[in-house]
């Protein structure tokens, strides 16, 4: 198993022995000097599916002349911790004022599900999703809020906003 090119059997699949070892992605150091950006994965490089923004679909905004707030909430977002490989869970809240296009919900769900096998940090995934939605829909204003579940006694919320917030209509209770 020490030589390159040899294969091991894991989960009834053949894969290179190197695929079962830690993959170092950046020189960042964590506790005790161990690499902080280590992805634990049993999936060989090149097979791991990355989130694909081409999954996103749009439809014409039925009222492009009006500034109205659209809010979508996805309570079952999952990605993987890039350090431990453990699943991370979040509630994603998408608020936006559409210009000419709106995002189609089925495609948004499929796009979010494509992150299930990605080892990615909270900050990175929130910004990537914001960038992908903005590229596809070109909203007048958008805010993506990722409310991550408790891990190690710490709750984390990442909020990314693009556009001019002065056009957001005031919320009423």
Catalytic positions, please? 81, 88
Instruction: Output the DSSP codes for 9-47.
Output: EETTEEEEGGGGS-EE----B-GGG-BSSEE--SSPTTT
Q: What are the DSSP calls for 38-87, one per residue?
A: EE--SSPTTTSPPP-GGG--EEE-S-TTS--EEEEEEEEEEEE-TTT--E
* Contact (Cβ atoms closer than 8 angstroms) between residue 156 and residue 148: yes
Radius of gyration of the chain (CA): 19
Residue 145 to residues 12, 45, 86: CA-CA distances in angstroms? 39, 30, 21
Residue 170 has what DSSP assignment?
A: P
- At 37, phi and psi to the nearest 5? -100, 65
């Amino acid at each position: 198993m020490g030589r390159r090119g040899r294969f091991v059997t894991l989960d009834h699949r053949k894969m290179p022995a190197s695929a079962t070892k830690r993959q170092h992605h950046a020189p960042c150091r964590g506790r005790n000097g161990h690499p902080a950006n280590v992805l634990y994965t049993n999936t060989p490089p090149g097979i791991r599916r990355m989130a694909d923004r081409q999954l996103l679909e749009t439809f014409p905004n039925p009222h492009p002349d009006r500034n109205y707030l659209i809010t979508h909430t996805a309570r079952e977002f999952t990605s993987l911790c890039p350090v431990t490989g453990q699943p991370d869970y979040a509630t994603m809240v998408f608020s936006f004022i559409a210009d000419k296009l709106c995002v189609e919900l089925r495609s948004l769900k499929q796009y979010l599900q494509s992150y299930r096998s990605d080892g990615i940090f909270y900050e990175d995934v929130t910004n990537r999703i914001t960038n992908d939605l903005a590229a596809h829909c070109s909203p007048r204003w958008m805010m993506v809020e990722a409310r991550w579940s408790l891990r190690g006694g710490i709750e984390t919320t990442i909020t990314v906003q693009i556009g001019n917030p002065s056009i957001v209509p005031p919320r009423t209770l």
